[in-house]
């Protein structure tokens, strides 16, 4: 079964299935059900508070590409936040507990590898190509800084 799931994930990737459907996104709250420390650490970051910075203004689609989670600008955003899946990939295919415990299967089903500074730089540089208000992007910095 494991080999079949890996094969399906690899074939999907090779077939160019890059965009997830809205039903494929689980949302950060679902991720936090199994990863509460990471969710709490993320909630203390600017990524989690994107909506507050935009206020009640209508956010242009081109902004949502970096400041939201989902398909923007090509499709809808599921959340006005840089949520878990904005970096880790749409989670419905790999979110089940038994799949998440098998890292090769989870990655084959869409979990984006962010385990190294090089991998983080590749994912994060799409939005952090320039210095942000908080300073330059540091691929060596902890992504989920856990507060003491």
User: How does pLDDT run across 18-63, given as a tens digit for each residue?
Assistant: 455 557 999 999 999 999 999 999 998 889 998 898 887 888 888 8
- Could you tell me which of 123, 109, 144 has the C-alpha nearest to residue 11? 109
CB–CB of 19/71 below 8 Å? yes
pLDDT at position 106: 93
User: How does pLDDT run across 75-131, given as a tens digit for each residue?
Assistant: 888 899 999 999 999 999 999 988 989 999 999 999 999 988 899 888 888 888 766
CB–CB of 42/48 below 8 Å? yes
The domain segmentation of the chain, as residue ranges, is 2-124
User: How does pLDDT run across 7-16, given as a tens digit for each residue?
Assistant: 555 444 434 3
CB–CB of 97/34 below 8 Å? yes
pTM score, whole prediction: 0.77
């Amino acid at each position: 079964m494991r080999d079949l799931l890996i094969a399906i994930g690899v074939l999907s990737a090779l077939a160019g299935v890059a965009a997830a459907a809205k039903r494929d996104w689980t949302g950060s709250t679902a991720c936090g059900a199994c990863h509460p420390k990471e969710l709490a650490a993320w909630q203390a970051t600017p990524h989690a508070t994107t909506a507050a910075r935009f206020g009640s203004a209508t956010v242009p689609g081109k902004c949502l590409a970096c400041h939201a989670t989902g398909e923007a600008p090509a499709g809808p955003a599921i959340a006005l936040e840089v949520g878990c899946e904005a970096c880790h990939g749409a989670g419905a295919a790999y979110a089940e507990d038994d799949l998440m415990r098998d890292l090769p299967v989870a990655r084959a089903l869409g979990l984006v590898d962010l385990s190294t500074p090089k991998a983080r730089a590749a994912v994060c540089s799409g939005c952090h190509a320039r210095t942000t208000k908080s300073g330059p992007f540091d691929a060596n910095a902890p992504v989920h800084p856990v507060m003491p």
